[in-house]
Structure 1
Amino acid sequence: MLKILVPVDGSAFGEKAIAHVLKLHRQSAQIEVHLLNVQIPVESGHVRMFVEHDTLEDYYREEGFAALEGARAALDAAGVPCQVHIAVGHVADTILRYAEEKGFDKIVMGTHGRTGLMQVLLGSIAEEVLQHSSVPVTLVK
């Protein structure tokens, strides 16, 4: 069984990754799908002075589930079971660490498809994952 990690941020780019996973499922039902949303941590000490830890954790969880909802619904509608996970941290590093620690066979993720100067200036989470992953990565544009 192919264990696939699909990082999802709630954007249309994540939807394209889900469409690719559904295609893989039609080709071989032997896949295990895990959706991962990574929340960027609140770094400001000022915010942390006024917001309780539990409130911040609730916020991360709510935002994470909201970002995962569309992908989860698409998989459910197609009869593809999935597990959902929410993490907090630097997005690319968290995806890379999660994929290695949990023993995934493949990462499937959407990309904004930036090229040239925009890519150089803005960088890309997908590009960072692709460059540093020990797990095979499929980028869907």
Structure 2
Amino acid sequence: MLKIMIAVDGSDVSIEAVRYGIKLLHSGLNAHFVIAHVQKEATLLELATTDSDLIANASIEAGMDLVASAQELLKAAGASYEVEISLGEEANTLIDIAESTECDQIIIGATGSGGLRSILIGSVSREVARHSRLPVTIVKMPEENEAADEENDAGGD
């Protein structure tokens, strides 16, 4: 059985990555998924003014809320999965999660569609792909959603 980490941040494209994992499962792949989410660590100012355990617990709770829709999709698909929530810098921490949970592959969403937008968006997925020793599949939004996003970016309705 393959063990596949899917990075989830609550965005539509990360949910699309979960759907891609489910599609693999339905095509006959025998897999167990690790749903991974990374919250940024508290700043020095936050740590100086608030109890660090309170901040960490709030971050973990927020992470659990952000992965809830991914869990619902996997449950509905009858998929085997576990959830890993960590604090840290996104790309390196995602790679650490994949390695510590002994995953065989990583699936991550990216939103860039070309040109300047592609350079500015998707840096976490690019960093994961660049630095991970594991195979990385980068999932983009379906083209019809991208076209609507581009129209909205241009001021269209």
Q: Structure 1 length as normaliser, TM-score? A: 0.92
Please name the residue that 2:131 is paired with: 132
Please name the residue that 1:6 is paired with: 6
SS of corresponding position for 1:103: coil
SS of corresponding position for 2:85: strand
Percent of pairs identical after alignment?
Answer: 33
Q: Which amino acid aligns with 1:74?
A: L
What is the CA deviation profile of residues 58-96 of structure 1, one whole-angstrom value per residue up to 9, with x for unaligned ones? 111111101100000011111112100100000001111
SS of corresponding position for 2:35: strand
Please name the residue that 2:33 is paired with: 33
C-alpha RMSD of the superposition: 1.5
Post-superposition offset of 1:13: 0.7
Gaps of 5+ in 2: 141-157
2:110–2:121 contact (8 Å) kept in structure 1: no
User: What are the equivalent positions in structure 2 for 1:71-110 lying under 5 Å apart?
Assistant: 71-110=70-109
Q: Which amino acid aligns with 2:74?
A: L
Q: Which amino acid aligns with 1:7?
A: A
Change (3 A) 1:82 1:119: same
2:4–2:106 contact (8 Å) kept in structure 1: yes
Post-superposition offset of 1:132: 1.2
Change (3 A) 1:120 1:140: closer
Larger Rg: 2
Post-superposition offset of 1:97: 1.8
Question: Which sits farther off after the overlay, 99-108 or 2-11?
Answer: 99-108
Please name the residue that 1:48 is paired with: 47
Alpha-carbon distance in 2 for matches of 1:58, 1:102: 22
Please name the residue that 1:70 is paired with: 69
Post-superposition offset of 1:119: 3.5
What is the CA deviation profile of residues 20-79 of structure 1, one whole-angstrom value per residue up to 9, with x for unaligned ones? 011111122510111011001112x22212211221121111111011000000111111
